Structure 1
Amino acid sequence: MNSNPNLQPSNESVIMKKPTLWTKIKKNKVAYFFLMPKLIFFTIFMLIPIIWAFIISFQDRGVFTVDYVGFKHYFEAFQSPIFRAALWNTFLYTIVTVPAFIITALVIAALIQPLGSISQTFFRSAFYLPTVTSMVIIAMVWRWMYNYRFGLFNYIIGFFGFEPVNWLGQTSTALPSLMIMAILIPPGAGIIIYLAAMNNISPSLYEAAEIDGANSFQKFMKITIPMLKPTTLYLVIISTIGSFQVFTQIIMMTGGGPGYSTETLVHVIYKTAFRDFNFGLASAQSVILFLILMGFAIAQFKALRTDK
């Protein structure tokens, strides 16, 4: 041990100076330069409108006047039978379509994954290409298939002696018909993402399971599904957000009817803002939708996260 006090390091030389925020920005200025266009776009078209909508939700806005009304629009939203019906319909739509989307994408990806690279590429393209089709076109095709007089579904059930069904014109079948449409549309994006995740799972895990005598089903349940938890979390959150924002199918196929049987939250917000011009109430409804989605995302993250 060195006893010379002059050779002992001082506390000032040992303690590293913590870099400031400005120092970090200067160090990574090239990265921030490339991120700047996206950040500007996000700020102008996403962040500012969100903040502005939150502010408007507490206001009654006339042509030349602005009155602050507190939480009036929030109470008004929950007192509206149309908004409550839309909230319930959206919950039902989400509960049915999101699990169907996840399970279908997982099963199809699991069936494609053992194939060769050429076959995988073919099936990836086959399942993904329909997703680039405009939802307006898809809704028009399905509206024709649901047509009461000459629709494909009534034509098929007519062969079995059943009477035609007014699929989109009665409250008992309108919302289930939209759910069937959502379920039968190929989950192309989910299949692509699941396939990429499955191909990244180490083959040594499956080899070790085979040595222990595991069959294909056991390997899928004990290795594949647990290893896909982060991917499943991402797809569940994205698909939940998409199902809560369902709009095109509603406005193209049912208009929210018959009655309020197919009203959804985004469709109600759209009508409140651009038909009734009640932007304060529409903003409050939008904030409620945002809070619901945030609650779902937090709950799903806690249920599916891997760092518990």
Structure 2
Amino acid sequence: MRVKKKDRNKKWAFLFIFSNLLLFIVFFVWPALLGVAYSFTNYSGMNATFVGLDNYIRLFQDPGFYKAMSRTFLYTALGVPFVYCASLLVSVLLVSNHTRGKTVAKTIFFFPWLVSPIVTGVLWRWMFGESFGFVNYIISALGGEPLAWSSNGNLAFLVVLLATAWAGTAFNMLIFIAALLNVPKAYYEASEIDGANGWQKFWHITLPSLRSTSFLVILLSIFGLMKEFPMVQALTNGGPGTDNTFIVQYIYQTGFAQMRIGYASAASMVLFVILLVFALLQFKFVRGGRVDG
């Protein structure tokens, strides 16, 4: 009887594994293979002719591609530490014994995670609109001059960073809170006996204990920001001009607006290779045991 029950459980396990594997092949593997194939053609939605490496050659000769890629790297380089610091600060405050109203605060800080990235972009676009924005209204009410949040590339980029931190803090906050609650209290009690202050406890106990968690948050943030599309598209539409066109916006514009699907596929493959490098670095550090909690 036990053997029959065990065999039946195995059948259900294989069924669940097969269904997930099928979905993975249909929605991930097959589109990826199509992208690789299209990157070697001049496919525009109707006909596809093999062109070899022409798409890649033209891609690496396109100043627009380098501009989009450099802007993406800048966005990631500034956004990741910004999101990391904001998430860690909020998490430390929410687990502190001196903080009051933690339940309400957690709900407020988690709310952005429940909002669609498109809604986030529209919300921040309304707040920082030049002629109708709430922020410029406050500045004018205080006697200042309204700022060109939309027509100035650097100011628009700043708004994107602020919106990214606001939207990205919630999920990372949950990860940090779980890790902070697992730090042994004995460490802090022993440091208090030695006369350590709050900053010393944070620097010598909290941060080292969050090493693996920090690595995870940073890696996920890199992936998220490198692939960011809906929030930026709704907020700036890549503007003004192409000042804030990131690599995914560049792929979207060339692939769907200009119907150069083969060329856009080549750009997608380049992005895939970059993200793969980050993934392999993660694998190397974790396997090497250099990232531990």
What TM-score bracket applies, with the shorter chain setting the length?
0.7 to 0.9
Alignment partner of 2:181 out of 173, 196, 199: 199
User: 1:233: which partner in 2?
Assistant: 215
Distance 1:214 1:28 in 2: 55
CA deviations 1:80-121 (Å, max 9, x no partner) are: 222111111111111111111111111111111134999544
Letter in 2 for 1:232: S
- 1:3 aligns to what? none
**1:33 CA displacement:** 3.7
1:9 corresponds in structure 2 to none
The one of 237, 247, 271 aligned to 1:265 = 247
User: Which whole-Å CA distance do the structure 1 matches of 2:132 and 2:157 have between them?
Assistant: 20
Q: What residue ranges of structure 1 are gaps of 5+ in the alignment?
A: 1-25
Amino acid at match of 2:200: Q
Deviations 1:11-31 (A, max 9, x none): xxxxxxxxxxxxxxx997654
**Greater Cα shift, 256-265 or 177-186:** 177-186
Residue 76 in structure 1 maps to residue 55 in structure 2: no
The worse-fitting range, judged by mean Cα deviation, of 86-95 and 130-139 is 130-139
Q: Decide whether the 8 Å contact of 1:59 with 1:68 is kept in 2.
A: yes
- Alpha-carbon shift at residue 39 of structure 1 (Å): 2.1
SS of equivalent residue, structure 2 residue 42: strand
Q: TM-score, normalised by structure 1?
A: 0.82
Which stretch of the first structure deviates more once superposed, 209-218 or 219-228?
A: 209-218
Identify the range of structure 1 (125-134 vs 33-42) with the bigger mean alpha-carbon deviation.
33-42
CA–CA distance in structure 2, aligned partners of residues 43 and 213 of structure 1: 58
CA gap of 1:122–1:260, structure 2 versus 1, over 3 A, is same
Asked if structure 2 preserves the Cα contact closer than 8 Å seen for 1:58 and 1:69, the reply is yes
Give me the whole-angstrom Cα distance separating, in 1, the residues matched to 2:177 and 2:46: 56
> 2:131 corresponds to which residue?
149
Contiguous gaps of at least 5 residues in structure 2: 1-7
AA aligned opposite 1:87: M
- Does the CA-based 8 Å contact 2:45-2:259 persist in structure 1? no
| Contact 1:168 1:254 survives alignment (8 Å) | yes
**Any residues of structure 2 matched to 1:1-308 within 5 Å, and which?**
31-61=13-43, 65-115=47-97, 120-185=102-167, 187-299=169-281, 307-308=289-290
Alpha-carbon offset, residue 59 of structure 1: 1.8
CA distance in 2, matches of 1:146, 1:120: 29
Pick closer, same or farther for the CA change 1:177–1:294 going to 2, 3 Å: same
Moved more, 295-304 or 279-288: 295-304
One-letter amino acid matched to 2:246: T
Cα distance, 1:254 vs. partner? Answer: 2.5
**1:118–1:268 Cα change, 3 Å:** same
Q: Which has the larger radius of gyration?
A: 1
Deviations 1:229-275 (A, max 9, x none): 11111111111111111212332232222221011111111111112
- CA distance in structure 2 between the aligned counterparts of 1:197 and 1:262, rounded to whole angstroms: 35
- What is the CA distance between 1:306 and its match in structure 2? 7.8
Q: 1:227 to 1:49 in 2, by over 3 A?
A: same
Identity of aligned residues (%): 33
Residues 55-91 of structure 1: CA deviation (Å, up to 9, x unaligned): 2211223677543222221121122222111111111
How many residue pairs get aligned? The number is 284
Q: CA contact under 8 A between 1:233 and 1:304: conserved in structure 2?
A: no
Aligned equivalents of 1:62, 1:181: Cα separation in 2: 34
CA shift in 2, pair 1:112/1:307, >3 Å: same
Moved more, 199-208 or 254-263: 199-208
TM-score of the pair, normalised by structure 2: 0.85
The answer to whether the 8 A contact 2:40-2:266 is kept is: yes
Q: SS of 1:161's equivalent?
A: coil
Counterpart for residue 22 of structure 1? none
1:124 Cα shift? Answer: 2.6
8 Å CA contact retained: 1:168, 1:177: no
Structure 1 CA distance for aligned equivalents of residues 190 and 164 of structure 2: 39
What residue in structure 1 maps to residue 5 of structure 2? none
